[in-house]
Amino acid sequence: MPLAKFTWPVRVYYEDTDAGGVVYHSNYLNFMERARTEWLRALGFEQTELKDSHGVIIVVHSLSISFKKPAYFNDVLEIHCDIVKIGHGSIELAQTITRNGELLINAHVKAAFVNAATFKPLGIPAQIKQAMLN
């Protein structure tokens, strides 16, 4: 089964850093969220459309993250999304952040598909699952 791989570039701005010019730890989560959003967009799905037309939102169920090396102000980072597993109602992604091929962050993210009104779990809509498999 082919698994989707995606990379999104992010430049580190001053607002992303602490007083020492190092990316503040929680901002890596923002970078990974942006990459997942752009990955869905590249697959042909806007999150607002999924919510408005299908009543589905995607939420982070759990994540683990390892900080290997820091990123700094003005770095250009590559945020990678690689599908590890597609379940009935969730996906698991390996997300890494690199700078010029050097590993900075290693993360595992589980995202669940839920009803937008009730937050109860749902199966992944067939068209989305199919797009992820191609």
Q: How far is CA 8 from CA 5, 19, 130, in A?
A: 10, 26, 22
Cα 69 to Cα 119: distance, rounded to the nearest angstrom: 36
DSSP character string of 49-94: HHHHHH-EEEEEEEEEEEE-S--BTT-EEEEEEEEEEE-SSEEEEE
Residues 74-116: tens digit of each pLDDT: 999 999 999 999 999 999 999 999 999 999 999 999 999 999 9
pLDDT at 5: 86
- Is the pLDDT reported for residue 3 higher than 80? no
Q: Which band of pLDDT confidence, cut at 50, 70 and 90, is reported for residue 1?
A: very low
Q: How many domains does the chain have?
A: 1
Q: Which band of pLDDT confidence, cut at 50, 70 and 90, is reported for residue 4?
A: low
Supply the range of the domain harboring residue 17: 5-133
Active site positions, annotated: 18
| Predicted structure pTM score | 0.92
Residues 11-47: tens digit of each pLDDT: 999 999 999 999 999 999 999 999 999 999 999 999 9
pLDDT at 2: 41
CATH for 89? 3.10.129.10
Q: Which of 28, 1, 3, 32 is nearest to 91 (CA)?
A: 3
3-state secondary structure 18-55: CCCCEECCCHHHHHHHHHHHHHHHHHCCCHHHHHHHHC
Q: How far is CA 50 from CA 33, 54, 55, 72, in A?
A: 16, 5, 6, 35
- Beta pairing partners, 90: 112
The residue ranking higher by pLDDT, 30 or 4, is: 30
CB 97 within 8 A of CB 53: no
